Amino acid sequence: MSNQSDLLATCISRPEQLCQLSLKEWDFLIRQARRVSLLPRIAYLAHETGCYQTLPASVVMHLSSAWRVADKQAKVVRFEISNIEKALKQLKSPVVLLKGAAYVAADLPPAKGRIFSDIDFMVPKSDLEMVERYMIRHGWMATHHDEYDQRYYRQWMHELPPMKHTGRGTVVDIHHAILPETARLHPDSEKLLDNIQRVTGYENIYTLSNIDIVLHSATHLFHDGELENGLRDLVDLDALLRHFGEEQKFWDELVERAAELELGRPLYYSLKYCSLVLNTPVPDVVTKAAEALGKPPAVISHLMDTSFKRALKPDHSTCDDGFTPLARWLLYIRSHYLRMPLYLLIPHLLRKALKKHKTEAPLAAIPEIEKP
Amino acid sequence: MNDFSTQLGGRGLYIQTGPFCVHLQSSIATVADGITQLYSEYPSFKEKDFADFHIHLDTVAGIRRLIRPQVQFSFDGYIPFKPLPLDQAFPMFEWGLNWCVANNIHEYLIIHAAVIEKNGVAAILPAPPGSGKSTLCAALVNRGWRLFSDELAMFCLRTRMLVPLPRPVNLKNNSINLIKNYAPEAIFGREVSDTNKGTVAHMKAPTESILRAAEAALPSWIIMPRYQEGAKPVLESRPKAQTCMDLAQNSFNYSLLAEDGFLAISELIDKCDCYDFTYSQLDDAIKIFDDLELPQ
């Protein structure tokens, strides 16, 4: 294999490689994949290529263990989607699943072997309060009780403070938009809600349109996130593009829709890095149109390139070079800069830093085995 | 003798324990001492292509190091716990390794329990902390029973057998001297005081348990031990339904394994005789365990 820092991306874009890895390469691959929540995805791909049975026993142990985790999570997500539908059955407006929950409900390719931290859905902003009340009535409680955190979410963000179910511990993020109110881009939620599609098997559970699913995933990765799970999110995008891209109509409308929603920049980055890192097939004419719409000025483009190329590798010691920490730091700052104007951002980051300091007292937590 | 410390401080040492190969790197002297005292009989390697767990134990950088040095456990770059006082580095390795297994390995139903074996059949001792499970386990493995584990019962979903993970037995407070007196030949690591569990020390797994770490066993008894001062030894039959619930509650991955977890626990309950066991004297306990009858 060419370069150990490209090992994971190579195996994802060309899974047949998995059949030829040496034990040493498996050691690297499992560690890198575990770090970016892609170990169950590798298990799924190894299964698809048909070489699963020929792999060394120790490799199989880790892959099938990871697969079990993802499988259980998918079950939990399906169960919670039904619970959310029940909790919101009096709601007149649609409940639109986002990200992982949408992939699972609509059985889209990124759902295979995906790890979740929470369940995201979107409702019209005007119904937000009502939705919150229904959710509380069905056992979900707000997690951030701090007055500042409450205001941070309610005033500036595009979602309520995360809600956690008191019995089952599952966490839901309830959105009214796909980017914060204070962010530099303003994709219109009403336009998104105009094109939603109902999920088979549910009364009032929807996903965004195929194109909007891609644009949201792109926005999340390249305009909102801190890229800690960067490669995993890129793998989601790659799987979506390959799947929806089988239809010519998808490509025909993609760039125009991005323009309509002010999401040209994230789309441009997505297409660029998907094809660069994961060999995602993108028609030339679409690449060119996305470039025309969203390519940043040369200086920025260059800086972003240097940073993304590093940050989209697994955050693991076998993948870092001397500039990786700087690249990740720059992208962290960028994600906040994009999220809110400086006069809000600087006090916010200061507060975060101070708060972190306060709780960092020498806590001698017992490293007892954590129960799941 | 102390050839481990150079290796641990450099490229790391690969240690095979039960089904797992652990790659450990640490420049901390007490870690090297603990490994030398308690792991010298395990198969170990300077170089290996594959390890199940890559673990670093390092002192935490920063000014605090000068006043109150701390140790940090890293699972291949991921930090699951807050740092502990440096003195607790070796116990932290043992606890952290338990965490690695319980959180990442799901080809076994894993239950928080001690497991011991004799003549190819094994007893599972699930119990809450403070019930004397580790003490009883340490006594039994010094009187002819083979140590599988004092913390993690691993029931293989493929072979339907209990699999050994023979590692040092973690003893606390009064139990340390109790076992030192009960089995003077047993080898102990350094005592570490003021941990969250009080004073702890690790007892080396008996040599035979280490050498036979690849030999699995059939589960035959589930015994809930309870130490009670001055009590006569009583072994009482225990309802299977209740034991089933207790096993599920003490399992790390029962819920994650879903149907497979349910089938595994049902099988354990079907195959095993279930007991409550109250005791105060270790010799009484040994006698009762040696006289256990095989399930019908």
Task: Say whether residue B259 is in contact with chain A using an 8 A CB cutoff.
Answer: no
DSSP letters, A254-316, are HHHHHHHTT-HHHHHHHHHHHHHHH-----HHHHHHHHHHHPPPHHHHHHHHHHHHHHTS-SS
Task: Say whether residue A79 is in contact with chain B using an 8 A CB cutoff.
Answer: no
Average pLDDT, chain B: 94
Q: Extract long-range pairs of A326-335: CB within 8 Å, 24+ residues apart.
A: A328/A227, A330/A303, A331/A226, A331/A227, A331/A307, A332/A226, A334/A307, A335/A223, A335/A224, A335/A225, A335/A226, A335/A227
Domain ranges of chain A: 4-354
Do residues B265 and B248 touch, judged by C-beta distance below 8 A?
yes
* Edge-first strand listing for the sheet containing B13-17: B44-45, B13-17, B20-26, B53-59, B70-75, B84-85
pLDDT > 50? residue B60: yes
User: In whole angstroms, what is the distance from residue A138 CA to residue B145 CA?
Assistant: 52
pLDDT > 80? residue B63: no
Closest residue to A367, CB basis, from B19, B92, B104: B92
Query: Which residue of chain A has the CA closest to B69?
Result: A362
CA distance B181 to chain A (A): 28
Closest residue to B99, CB basis, from A56, A317, A369: A369
Average pLDDT over residues B181-209: 95
Pick the residue of A61, A79, A315 with the most B CBs within 10 A to test the interface with B by mutation.
Answer: A61
User: In whole angstroms, what is the distance from residue A63 CA to residue A42 CA?
Assistant: 7
Asked if B19's CB is within 8 angstroms of A367's CB, the reply is no
Q: pLDDT band at B72, cuts 50/70/90? A: very high
pLDDT at A359: 40
Return residues 114-173 of B near A (CB < 8 Å). 151
Which positions in chain A touch B21 (Cβ < 8 Å)? 58
CA distance A206 to chain B (A): 28
- The region of weakest confidence among A50-64, A148-162, B98-112, B235-249 is A148-162
Asked if B197's CB is within 8 angstroms of A371's CB, the reply is no
Query: Which residue of chain B has the CA closest to A70?
Result: B256
Asked if B84's CB is within 8 angstroms of A34's CB, the reply is no
Q: Encode chain A (372 residues) as per-residue pLDDT tens digits.
A: 457 889 999 999 999 999 999 999 999 999 999 999 999 999 999 999 999 989 999 999 999 999 999 999 999 999 999 999 999 999 999 999 999 999 999 999 999 999 988 999 999 999 999 999 999 999 999 887 777 777 777 777 788 889 999 999 999 999 998 888 777 788 889 999 999 999 999 999 999 999 999 999 999 998 876 677 889 999 999 999 999 999 999 999 999 999 999 999 999 999 999 999 999 999 999 999 999 999 999 888 888 888 888 888 888 888 888 788 888 888 888 887 777 777 777 777 777 766 654 443 333 333 344 443
Task: Say whether residue B192 is in contact with chain A using an 8 A CB cutoff.
Answer: no
Residue A21 sits at φ, ψ, to 5 deg, of -70, 145
CA distance A271 to chain B (A): 31
Task: Say whether residue B107 is in contact with chain A using an 8 A CB cutoff.
Answer: yes
Average pLDDT over residues B214-221: 97
CA distance B257 to chain A (A): 7
pLDDT at A372: 35
Pick the residue of A35, A315, A369 with the most B CBs within 10 A to test the interface with B by mutation.
Answer: A369
Which positions in chain A touch B193 (Cβ < 8 Å)? none
Position A230: which residue type?
G
Which helix (DSSP H) or strand (DSSP E) does residue A197 occupy?
Answer: strand A197-198
CA distance A58 to chain B (A): 8
pLDDT at B55: 98
Complex prediction ipTM: 0.94
Task: Say whether residue A365 is in contact with chain B using an 8 A CB cutoff.
Answer: yes
HEC-encoded secondary structure of B209-270:
HHHCCCCCEEEEEEEEEEECCCCCCEEEECCHHHHHHHHHHCECCCCCCHHHHHHHHHHHHH
Contacts of A280 (CB under 8 A, 6+ apart): A13, A237, A238, A241, A242, A271, A274
pLDDT at A362: 32
pLDDT at A331: 84
